[in-house]
Amino acid sequence: LFGTISGQGGIQSHLRWLAKALVESQHEVLIITTQPLTNKGFNWNEANKIGVKVHQLDYDNSLNYFLRKIIQIRGLTKVVRRFAPDIYFGVGTSWYLSLLPWLFPKKARSIFHEVMSGLGGRWRDSRWGVRWCFDDVVGQSSGVAKNFTENFRWRKTVPAIPAIPEPLEITAALPQPMVKKVESGTAKAALFSRLAPWKKALWLVQQWDDLKDVLSELHIHGTGPEESLIRAYIDEQGIGDRVKCFGRYPEGQAYVDLLSSYDLTLLPTVGAEGAPLVLLESMACGVPFVAYGVGGIPDYGTDNPNAIVVAPEPWMTNQAREYAAVDQFQSVSAFVTGVKQMTQKLAQGEINQVQLQQYYLNRYSYQVLKQAWLSYLCTP
């Protein structure tokens, strides 16, 4: 497996839990990572206990760039040929990732998992190497698979298998939700996200005049470049009694308990998303969500009457939506309409929180995705 395992995030979680699933099924696993290893998000004792091998590319900053690359490649070649894998599985963006199949024995099957949006295609994008060097590509969702096929001119079928999120049903005690009505105007909503411009958290707070009659409170959880702007706007408008920005949110059971305290979660992102894990976590807790249908998010709304996926605006359908065109979002009101529809459904008892949690367990739980990946990887 090739990718980043240190820190928090979708790629890290996916690789760690995929490695665990493979080892549990008696497969031998080597993880290759280019990033410095830390203890944050990666339990070395657990890795050693379950038998996962890890190789970090050697970083000797005392050497010049080209000599360092030569040493890295030589060391990597020895490691992968000694391991002699049957399958090479890559996640993320890196020229090392894309060119590594050249180092493996001919019998190794190379698979790239697109966990981002599938958009891109600029000539410097390392995913062009996937087209020339990999045997197979898997998309995070059906939409992501379609995007990758079109943008990188992939000529084979791209199946869709979700990444494995941190399974809250294993790492925490999930709540037992109850079907409940939420009186109009009393719903508490939250956004959990990195507060980057394309996530549109600041924009969401700026829509409070249109939301204050259907929400009792709006809470923003996360850190990022917009955090100070959000706090300043709340202070300037004098709306801090109902709109609050809390900064970094907790992990584990504390996160589950916090998320479960809300009636709905919101994610008006317009970025090049794969499939945000926060929406899976919301469903795992039985909390309905409203989100824009970019990247792989529409799959979360398939056969799911307890969530609202707002159709993207026309300008969001091209690659400019990655970041260049986000200012056009200022005039968009479709998301606000989606929030109002959700609060109305909550008030009328049309949201089944128990059914929503079961939707997650049936489609995205660790045991379900473990079997999906084992079936795919172990089929010739």
Computed on alpha carbons and rounded to an integer, the radius of gyration of the chain in Å comes to 22
Strand partners of residue 111: 89, 136
Structure tokens at 69: 């690359």
Q: Residues 69-74: what's their mean pLDDT?
A: 81
Cβ atoms < 10 Å from Cβ of 212: 15
Where b means 16+ CB within 10 Å and e means fewer, 282-300 reads bbbbbbbbbbbbbbbbbbb
CA pair distance 242, 214, nearest whole angstrom: 12
What are the start-end ranges of the H helices in 84-109?
Answer: 95-99
- Backbone phi, psi, residue 261, to 5°: -80, -5
* Confidence (pLDDT) at 312: 78
337 by DSSP, 3-state: which? helix
- pLDDT at site 326: 45
The string over 317-344, giving b where at least 16 C-beta atoms fall within 10 Å of a residue's C-beta and e elsewhere, is eebebeeebbeebeebeebbebbbebbe
d(CA 289, CA 278): 10
Reported as a pLDDT band with limits 50, 70 and 90, residue 204 is: very high
Question: What is the distance between the alpha carbons of residues 108 and 86, in angstroms, rounded to a whole number?
Answer: 4
Residue 49, pLDDT > 80, answer no
The mean per-residue pLDDT over the stretch 275-303 comes to 93
Q: What is the mean pLDDT of residues 18-37?
A: 87
For residue 190, is pLDDT > 90? yes
Alpha carbon 27 to its chain's center = 26
Look at strands 264-267 and 187-192 and give their pairing. Answer: parallel
Rounded to the nearest 5°, which phi and psi values hold at 117? -85, -15
pLDDT in tens, 313-367: 665 554 444 443 444 444 458 999 999 999 999 999 999 999 999 999 999 999 9
Question: Which single residue is written with the structure tokens 């409070």?
Answer: 208
Phi, psi for 206 (deg, rounded to 5): -70, -15
Least confident of 102-106, 150-154, 223-227, 246-250: 102-106
Beta strands in the chain (DSSP E): 29-33, 52-56, 87-91, 109-114, 136-139, 187-192, 215-221, 243-247, 264-267, 289-292, 308-310
Cα–Cα distance, 244 to 221 (Å, whole number): 9
Compute the average pLDDT of residues 80-86: 89
Mean pLDDT of 26-39: 80
pLDDT single digits (tens) 243-272? 999 999 998 899 999 999 999 999 999 887
Do the beta carbons of residue 215 and residue 344 sit within 8 Å?
A: no
Q: What is the pLDDT of residue 158?
A: 96
CB 143 within 8 A of CB 298: yes
